[in-house]
Structure 1
Amino acid sequence: MSGNQSNTSEDHCFVDDSLFFTLVPPYIVIISVLGIIFNAFVLMVFWLHKKACTVTEIYLSNLAGADLILVFCLPFWSDNIRSYYDWTFSESLCKVSSAVMSMNPFCSIYFLVMVSIDRYVALVHPLSHERICRPFYAKLGCLFVWVFGLVFALPIIIYRKLEFSSNLAHCSRDFTSPDRYLMYEVRAIIFRFIIPVIIILFCTVKIIQSLSNRLMEGLKPQRTEQKTTTLILAVLLAFLICWVPFHVAKILDVLLNTGILKCHTILFIFQQVSMYLAFFNSVLNPILYIIIGKSFQNRTKEFFKQ
């Protein structure tokens, strides 16, 4: 939504489908409502609990914060689609909401990178874990992710603007030249997808190998450690399922703009479906905390008693 509506690809790769404009707005509203309720609940449990958060919980609470900010912005885009891409709000809101939607995948995946590294060090290098992975360093790392996410979204703030045509106001990106647009998209694919996914996959493989070796040696991991690792692996898997199609669609969009691919109805449908599947991840994460996260379940019980 924040990426595909530019003056590069969508002009020649857009299918006017009334079903799309009918079904997508209510879907986005549902995602927004559920996402706000679930992520606000997660943050309440993490932040208002009398016990300090662990390193893993610091990362997961920041992930919930990124999801909460995203779902707050989605209703504006629901109204935009319902109005057939007629932006009825201010240009400032156009810029801010687009920047937030650009920051979310960047911040979310790097919070998962840090939590993957934390689990990797805890299981593969346990003697170094207490020295390296401390709450102070975790908070500092989260701060860096938010800052870099904002820097990464600056081009969106600069080049997003309202463009008027046929009495409609479009919240569109205008990079002034196709080369600048392609440069931004290629950089986004590299830093927002390829590099972090390589790190996550490396850590995940090492984590699984470590757990397998312990089981083969007859050493069972501590119950709390095992539950935490299971939750992290489930969150990582959910993120990859929801976001990999989105990034694949962005790669196809770059190939489309370079002329390597030609637009087809299937490509447009895939782009749209992948985008709204990615949004669903903001609702899925809190559900995983509640279902799988034993520590979160205990925190929730203590929170209500408190």
Structure 2
Amino acid sequence: MVSITTENVTQLYNIMTTQELRINLADFHNTSGVYQMNGSECINLDAWNWLHTSQPGFLWFIFILGAIENVFVLSVLCFHKSRCTVAEIYLANMSLADLMLVCVLPFWAINISNKFEWPFGLFLCKTVNAISYMNFYSSIYFLTLVSIDRYLALVKTMSLGRMRRTACAKWNCFIVWMCALLICLPTMMFRNLQYFKEYNITACSLQYPATYWQPANNCLLNIVGFVIPLCVTTYCTIQIIKALRSSELQKLKLIQTERRATMLVLAVLLLFIICWLPFQISTFIDTVSHLAGTFKCLENINEIVTQVATYCAFSNSCLNPVLYAIVGKHFQRKAAEFYKDLFPKRCRKSQSVQMENSLDTLRTSFSSECPRKKSVFPLPR
């Protein structure tokens, strides 16, 4: 294999990294050569080298931490003896989406460590990207559904209460997954293995049929994937806060329970915005630079910003379970009950064995004392 120098690594990042890590989420860049100018004109090469060496380790860290945490959340929500509430159904599906995302990160870690040589074949090239792409849209819309559920619970309690049934929630989740799958179809169609002769590698790259696909995907991500759900959740949040401050509602005991559930939802929503907003901003900058075509320096700087924003976005998948454990009092109680019922079975078995041994000892002691009592106090004849 041809050795890849520092300059080649920089160029490869301009061609491949944005596609492999950013497109992991939104498939923005194509490989038509639009971004093949040398990034060293505006960016220190040490920045690219730092990214190249630090990315695999960070991806593995997010994978391990996120997989453990999201499996824990799903086990509590899905296997607890009580039925899930509507909000918990949405949060469980969001946790599933996060688990799917972190499970594909090792493929990208290996790919980067392998100098962008994709060793997993065409099927995984398409599947890994499709799963990554589905995660973003499904996560934001599950959060939107949770916000709507809180709105119905606190603001439209009587008029629209029938919409908070679990059967309706499951259908909503199914629709979200199908829509996310539909949106990621271009990723599955246009992702292919491409041989780069100058680097002697076969990379998993995105090959758009026309240049307008990139800004179109950017707009889709910004508008459909962020602005619209953000407007809905903002409206719901404002109405929820007004309802929680209402003196009449504060007297109801049920509202106190709904208040605690709402605090968890608002915390998860705020964390999602904090983690994903930098990525959304870098996407908008990418659209501007692509359409204008004159901001080459901004374009190259934005490549670095996008990489950092991508990892900030990835981190959301392993931070949500931490919020459940810290803010979610109801989740804490469920987790305690679930593992209390799961593990003490052996303890109860050992306690019963101890009890039987104690009874056996007592019987033996009693039987040994019986002859003595017979000799001292003979039965009457």
> Given the two structures, how large is their TM-score scaled by the length of structure 2?
0.76
Q: Do structure 1's residue 303 and structure 2's residue 338 form an aligned pair?
A: yes
Q: Which one has the largest radius of gyration?
A: 2
What is the identity, as a one-letter code, of the residue corresponding to 2:150?
R
For residue 89 of structure 1, the aligned residue among 114, 117, 120 is 120
Separation (CA, whole Å) in 1 of partners of 2:94 and 2:279 = 18
Q: Which moved more, 1:7-16 or 1:173-182?
A: 7-16
Separation (CA, whole Å) in 2 of partners of 1:273 and 1:150 = 26
Give matches, 1:147-296, under 5 Å.
147-165=178-196, 166-214=199-247, 219=251, 222-259=255-292, 261-264=295-298, 265-296=300-331
* 1:11 alignment counterpart: 36
C-alpha spacing 1:154/1:63, structure 2 compared with 1 (3 Å)? same
Separation (CA, whole Å) in 2 of partners of 1:53 and 1:229 = 15
Q: Which moved more, 1:121-130 or 1:135-144?
A: 121-130
Q: Do 1:46 and 1:61's aligned partners in 2 also have CA atoms closer than 8 Å?
A: yes
Separation (CA, whole Å) in 2 of partners of 1:12 and 1:96 = 30
What is the identity, as a one-letter code, of the residue corresponding to 1:163?
Q
Q: Determine what percentage of the aligned residue pairs are the same residue.
A: 39
Separation (CA, whole Å) in 1 of partners of 2:151 and 2:85 = 16
* 1:63 alignment counterpart: 94
Q: Do 1:85 and 1:170's aligned partners in 2 also have CA atoms closer than 8 Å?
A: yes
Deviations 1:231-284 (A, max 9, x none): 000000000000111111111111121125434353222111110000000001
The CA RMSD over aligned residues, in Å, is 1.9
* 2:13 alignment counterpart: none
Shift in Å, 1:137: 0.4
C-alpha spacing 1:54/1:256, structure 2 compared with 1 (3 Å)? same
Partner SS for 1:208: helix
Partner SS for 1:285: helix
Deviations 1:21-47 (A, max 9, x none): 111110110000000000011000111
Q: Gapped runs of 5+ residues in structure 1?
A: none
Shift in Å, 1:184: 2.7
Q: Do 2:29 and 2:214's aligned partners in 1 also have CA atoms closer than 8 Å?
A: no
Partner SS for 1:231: helix
C-alpha spacing 1:141/1:247, structure 2 compared with 1 (3 Å)? same
Q: Which moved more, 1:187-196 or 1:21-30?
A: 187-196
Q: Do structure 1's residue 51 and structure 2's residue 82 form an aligned pair?
A: yes
Query: Higher relative contact order at CA 8 Å, sep ≥6: structure 1 or structure 2?
Result: 1
C-alpha spacing 1:10/1:219, structure 2 compared with 1 (3 Å)? farther
Separation (CA, whole Å) in 2 of partners of 1:263 and 1:78 = 28
Separation (CA, whole Å) in 2 of partners of 1:89 and 1:146 = 25
Separation (CA, whole Å) in 2 of partners of 1:13 and 1:107 = 36
Count of matched residue pairs? 305
Q: Which moved more, 1:222-231 or 1:206-215?
A: 206-215
> Given the two structures, how large is their TM-score scaled by the length of structure 1?
0.94
Shift in Å, 1:129: 4.7
Separation (CA, whole Å) in 2 of partners of 1:281 and 1:182 = 25
Shift in Å, 1:13: 7.4
